[in-house]
Structure 1
Amino acid sequence: MISSWRRRRAGRRASKEQRRGEIGDMEITIPSHYRCPISLDLMKDPVTLSTGITYDRVSIETWIEAGNQSCPITNQVLRSLEPIPNHAIRKVIQDWCVDNQSYGIERIPTPRIPVSSVEVSEILSKITMASKREDQAGCLELVSKLKASAKESERNKRCIVANKTGSALSAAFETFAKASFERNVSVLEEILSALALLLPLDDEAKAFLGSAASLHCMVWFLKGGDLSGRRNAVLALKEALSLDEQRVDALSEIEGALEALVKLIKEPICPTATKASLMLIYHMLNSSFPKDTIVERFLDMGLVSLLLEILVDTERSICEKALGVLDVICSSDKGKEKAYSHALTMPVLVKKLLRISDLATEFSVSILWKLCRNEKREEGGVLVEALQVGAFQKLLLLLQVGCAERTKGKATELLKSLNLHRERLECIDSMDFKDLKRPF
């Protein structure tokens, strides 16, 4: 009896597996009205245009973002570029997927409805009114909602940016900053966090962030905020001060601003913050603010040593910016003296020639030229050191492979100066200092 029951169970199992195999070999035809007219795939997020034709959201938005303003099927000009979610066809497609699960068809998930321009405009209007009332809690909730939408998808982020969100948030930041840093710290920090997601900002947003109240507030975050607050503040400062000398000068005069920027290099948070800090320092060194004064302040903070240490081993973009800052510093006599006295200066500069990028090579040659020009020290100390670490060979190779005319002129002048001392000592290959012990 038991054996017959086992035979029956085995028979049922074999029959089921046979049916499953037959089903697996069958091809399921997707109904044509469930397919996107553009991709011809099953629609996962069907949306309907003003012409009444339904497409998959990804396909039609790609079409519109390419600059097309007509319906792909009817060629009619679209009255609105905002596609409307077609919930009815989406539910029908989901039901069809469920009915055909046995054929390996998976049910499409219910998509999140992306944010629309109308919704963004309404939120921004409420943020503006809340900031004028100094309603910190209300504004904080609205900014958090906007930030969450931006993080949800690239489509949402593009929509949010396109509706001048950066300007509205920057204006709200200035309003709360004028009221009180300490009292409004939560909403100010949230606004900076949202702005960091929406970079780059437009000129109107930069103007709000470049106001005296906004600059003081961002420096306040730089000096005493948490890691994310300091990162977001330096990114916003970089946006606000780009190519605006008046704002750069204003930042230079704020107490503790220079120290906070140097601290970001000394105690890095992330590469993005380090790059922003280096760019701000570069703009400050090139501003109309008395150069000798600001260079001296940076030198007293040990900036030259910090720059040389990060140049030993860092990524391309940081390397270029650090060399750019060092190049400006070496335009002053005190800056050159600091560079002269550091053991890593010559080895690092020669090592960067032809190894990072054309820009890094240009900065390296410029710094070497400034350090070696009009060398009056006994026995040409700087020139001899440059020779010992392989500068002659590197510069010769640079002229052979080609470079910009300005760099070529400096390299040629350097070679002439180096050649005067070349017979007195044996030059070594630049790779011979690769195992040089670092003093840190």
Structure 2
Amino acid sequence: MGLSLRMRLRGGTKKEIITPVMMSCSEEEEEVTIPSQFQCPISYDLMKDPVIIASGITYDRESIEKWFEAGYQTCPVTNTVLSNLEQIPNHTIRRMIQEWCGSSLGGGIERIPTPRVPVTSHQVSEICGKLSTATRLSDYGACKEMVTKMKTLGKESERNRKCVKENGVGLVLCVCFDAFSENANAVSLLEDIVSLLTWMLPIGSEAQAKLTTTSSFRRLVKLLRNGDQNAAFLVKELLELNEAHVHALTKINGVEKAFLKSILQESTCVNSLISIHNIISVKPETISRFLELDLVTLTVEMLVDSENSVCENALMVLNAICESNKGREEVRRNELVIPILVKKILKVSEKKNLVSVMWKICKSGDGSEVEEALRLGAFKKLVVMLQVGCGEGTKEKVTELLKMMNKVMKMNGFVERSDSSNEFKHVKKPF
């Protein structure tokens, strides 16, 4: 027995399958019965890419792949253990479905396009072999052709991407990148390789070694400076994979300027901020180099009207800068810091770094920072934060900040002028 579905007329004579929640009284509707042999035994939907498995039963490729990925090695219909998980396109059923879709019985459903056959491990290995040979021969044209073929396969389906990733392509690509990294005419090839590598991470240590040589890192920095978001992402991932990569990267001349330029570009901003934080955390001595390039001003200005994710990463960088005496001095000298921090207290989702920055500069300052924060309404916002809840470490810093402000209020008469005794009478004091 076939599956009865409602169809909706979509301009002209083309129709689409709809569910009850999609129905509209203003649209022309009719029922179409899909023959059972055209339905996937798993989803009961019209098959778009019918394939036969070892048991002889035909399924829609997407449904049976999910079944196998879940760990099953049996046929869902017969429950027999399969000798292999190979899926062979059922061209006969696919043609029958297409003919039915275009017939009067199919109600004029738009024909299902012929699916591309997924790439096999053998095909990927062949491409890898050709790319490896072309790299050894420094054959740019052949390398470009193989890399382009990989990109095309990856765009066709997630299954193709998975197959490419699982067959050692990452190492071959990194070897190729390193081999052409100093070739000024190979920019297009290198950009394509970086784009491919972003969905092959994490890569093994051997591949990382090829990608983090001086020449390779120098090329990645150039791509980063030019606003390549894939390069920004790849550098960030490399720095997070191994601290040794940070030391290798910071040996390159002009790397700090490249990162500062990249954080001004929307497409690379977040990844570059994370990379700067990793560099400063692993090599605190780089703080002075970033300070000379006015990193504090750039980071603080980002907090003014940037989206939440940018603000949180900018605060993370500021917090790392404040680990050094020189960094704290530079942050305190910026007149926007306290006003922006106070303004953002209840606006950023992750408050750990914001509180930490405020705590560090208030605790190490001369008291003027505490007074300014108090005048701008920080006390009430911090109390609200404490009542809503925060992490243990953050809670301790907030409590200490409130004690500092409470002391200033008593000394300078802020209590009387702001009538804070009435303002906070409904809030239980945590200190």
Compute the TM-score of the two structures, normalised by the length of structure 2: 0.83
Q: Deviations over 1:252-307 (max 9, x none)?
A: 120011100000112x141xx211101110111011x3x24x11111111111111
Q: Which amino acid aligns with 1:202?
A: I
Query: Which residue does the alignment assign to 1:190?
Result: 192
The question of whether the paired residues in 1 share the 8 Å contact of 2:73 and 2:81 is answered with yes
Q: CA contact under 8 A between 1:354 and 1:398: conserved in structure 2?
A: yes
Aligned residues of 1:46 and 1:89 also touching (Cα < 8 A): yes
Identity of aligned residues (%): 45
Amino acid at match of 1:315: E
Shift of 1:182: 1.4
Matches within 5 A, 1:20-35: 29-35=33-39
CA distance in 1, matches of 2:44, 2:53: 17
Aligned counterparts, 1:39-438, within 5 A: 39-100=43-104, 103-177=107-181, 180-196=182-198, 198-204=199-205, 205-223=207-225, 225=226, 227=227, 230-266=228-264, 268-270=265-267, 273-287=268-282, 289=283, 291-292=284-285, 294-357=286-349, 360-375=350-365, 377=366, 380-423=367-410, 424=412, 425=414, 426=417
- 3-state SS of the aligned residue for 2:190? helix
Q: Count how many residue pairs are aligned between Structure 1 and Structure 2.
A: 388
Q: Is residue 48–residue 54 contact of structure 1 (8 Å, CA) maintained in 2?
A: yes
Distance 2:373 2:102 in 1: 75
Q: 2-side partners of 1:29 and 1:216: how far apart?
A: 62
CA contact (8 A) 1:330 1:367 kept: yes
**1:20 maps to what in 2?**
none
Q: Secondary structure at the match of 2:129?
A: helix
Instruction: Give distance in 1, aligned partners of 2:272 and 2:224.
Output: 11
TM-aligned CA distance change 1:365 to 1:199, over 3 Å: farther
- The question of whether the paired residues in 2 share the 8 Å contact of 1:48 and 1:85 is answered with yes
Q: Is the 8 A contact 1:389 1:427 kept in 2?
A: no
The farther-off stretch of 63-72 and 152-161 is: 152-161
1:334-379 CA distances to partner (integer Å, 9 max, x unpaired)?
212221122210111122223222xx3111111111101143x3xx
Change in 2 beyond 3 A, CA 1:319/1:28: closer
Aligned to 2:23: none
SS at the partner of 2:263? helix
> Hey, what's the Cα distance between the residues in 2 that align with 1:25 and 1:383?
68
1:96–1:353 distance in 2 versus 1, CA, 3 Å: same
The verdict on how the C-alpha distance between 1:427 and 1:305 changes in structure 2, with shifts beyond 3 A counting, is farther
Q: Greater helix percent: which structure?
A: 1
SS at match of 2:59: strand
Query: SS at the partner of 1:103?
Result: coil
Decide whether aligned partners of structure 1 residues 427 and 209 sit closer, same or farther in structure 2, where only a CA change above 3 A counts. farther
Tell me the secondary structure at the aligned position of residue 286 of structure 1.
helix
Q: Which amino acid aligns with 2:87?
A: P
Give the Å deviation of 1:159: 2.6
- Look up the equivalent residue of 2:383 and give its one-letter code: L
Residues 308, 94 of structure 1: alpha-carbon distance in 2 compared, 3 angstrom cutoff: same
CA distance in 1: counterparts of 2:70 and 2:177, whole angstroms: 34
Rounded to whole Å, the distance in 2 between the matches of 1:108 and 1:141 is 31
Contact 2:316 2:353 (8 Å CA) reproduced = yes
Letter in 2 for 1:363: N
Q: CA RMSD in A?
A: 2.4
SS, match of residue 356 in structure 1: coil
In the TM superposition, what is the alpha-carbon distance from 1:325 to its structure 2 partner?
A: 0.6
Q: Where do 5+ consecutive residues of structure 2 fail to align?
A: 1-27, 421-431
**CA distance, structure 1, for counterparts of residue 165 and residue 357 of structure 2:** 41
Q: Any idea what SS the aligned residue of 1:242 has?
A: helix
The aligned amino acid for 2:61 is: R
Paired residues of 1:137 and 1:187 also in contact (CA < 8 A): no
Look up the SS of the partner of 2:51 in the other structure. strand
Q: Which runs of 5+ in 1 are unaligned?
A: 1-23, 430-440
Instruction: Render the CA deviation track for 1:300-319: whole Å, top value 9, x for unaligned.
Output: 11111111111122222222
Which residue does the alignment assign to 2:25? none
Q: CA deviation at 1:167?
A: 2.9
Closer, same or farther: CA 105–217 of 1 in aligned 2, 3 Å: closer
> Matched residue of 1:263: which SS?
helix
3-state DSSP of counterpart to 1:373: helix
Q: CA–CA distance in 2 between the matches of 1:404 and 1:109?
A: 53
- Residue 323 of structure 1: SS of its match in structure 2? helix
What letter corresponds to residue 154 of structure 1 in structure 2?
E
Larger Rg, first or second structure (1 or 2): 1
User: Separation in 1 of the partners of 2:342 and 2:92?
Assistant: 68
Q: Output the amino acid matched with 2:154.
A: A
